[in-house]
Amino acid sequence: MSIDLKQNYFALFGLPVTYAVDRAVLDQRYRELQRLVHPDRFASAPDQERRVAMQQATRINEGYRVLKDALARGRYLLELRGHRFDDERNTHQDSAFLMEQIELREDLAAVRGSRDPFAALAAILARIGVRLAMLDTELAATLAQDGIPATALTAIQRMQFFRKLAHEAEELDADLEDGS
């Protein structure tokens, strides 16, 4: 068995280098690859082989994590095409989009004081879900073009904002469930 550690994650999983990924195929390939490098198979193997199997397992896990996640996969694909993300310097300046972000933050902050916090939060989560699904579609369309489309970079940025919001909303949801 040989797994080339230098090949990109798409190649590692035998998938075409595209944003659209068939989740069922990805999951199946992941299980197959995991089986190939499972530590049980190398229990009595020489140290060197065990170490290689472990490196491969790590690479497979990391590849799976990236490919199954829309945002991570989009970023990875753009990196393969030569884009270097500079998160420290990267800012977004579309006022209308940022106003919506502020509005959603304010809605989120008002959840606790509302008459039905669970319903209010569910509405926000649903709205975030819709926007994330739209961005996923947008990213698929724009990344179907070659190169590094500016529209793809914008969609990635927007997805990052909504992911952050989703994370905060989910944390609040957990707090509410705990009654805190």
Partner 1 sequence: MAYSDKVLDHYENPRNVGSMDKDDASVGTGMVGAPACGDVMKLQIKVNAQGVIEDAKFKTYGCGSAIASSSLLTEWVKGKTLDEAQQIKNSQIAEELALPPVKIHCSVLAEDAIKAAISDYQAKQGKESTSKSA
Among 93, 146, 150, 178, binds partner 1 (CB under 8 A): 93
Stretch that binds partner 1, among 12-20, 39-47, 87-95, 126-134 (CB under 8 A): 87-95
Q: Which letter does DSSP use for residue 99 in this model?
A: H
Stretch that binds partner 1, among 10-18, 25-33, 95-103, 111-119 (CB under 8 A): 95-103
- Quote the least distance from Cβ 120 to partner 1, whole Å: 18
Among 1, 24, 43, 102, binds partner 1 (CB under 8 A): 102
User: Quick check: 90 binds partner 1 (CB under 8 A)?
Assistant: yes
Among 35, 38, 51, 105, binds partner 1 (CB under 8 A): 105
Name residues contacting partner 1, limited to 117-176 (CB under 8 A): 156-158, 160-161, 164-165, 168
Q: Which H helix or E strand runs over 24?
A: helix 23-36
User: Quick check: 84 binds partner 1 (CB under 8 A)?
Assistant: no
Structure tokens at 72: 């991570």
- Quote the least distance from Cβ 147 to partner 1, whole Å: 21
User: Quick check: 38 binds partner 1 (CB under 8 A)?
Assistant: no
- Quote the least distance from Cβ 5 to partner 1, whole Å: 28
Non-local CB neighbours of 102 within 8 Å, separated by 6+ positions = none
Q: Which H helix or E strand runs over 126?
A: helix 117-143
Q: Is 67 helix (H, G, I), strand (E, B) or coil?
A: helix
Among 2, 91, 178, 180, binds partner 1 (CB under 8 A): 91
CA 107 to each of CA 122, 126, 128, 141, 157: distance values in angstroms, whole numbers, following the listed order: 12, 13, 12, 31, 21
Radius of gyration for the chain, computed over Cα atoms and rounded to the nearest angstrom: 20
User: Quick check: 110 binds partner 1 (CB under 8 A)?
Assistant: no
- Quote the least distance from Cβ 135 to partner 1, whole Å: 12
CA 25 to each of CA 70, 82, 97, 144: distance values in angstroms, whole numbers, following the listed order: 16, 26, 35, 20
d(CA 31, CA 51): 20
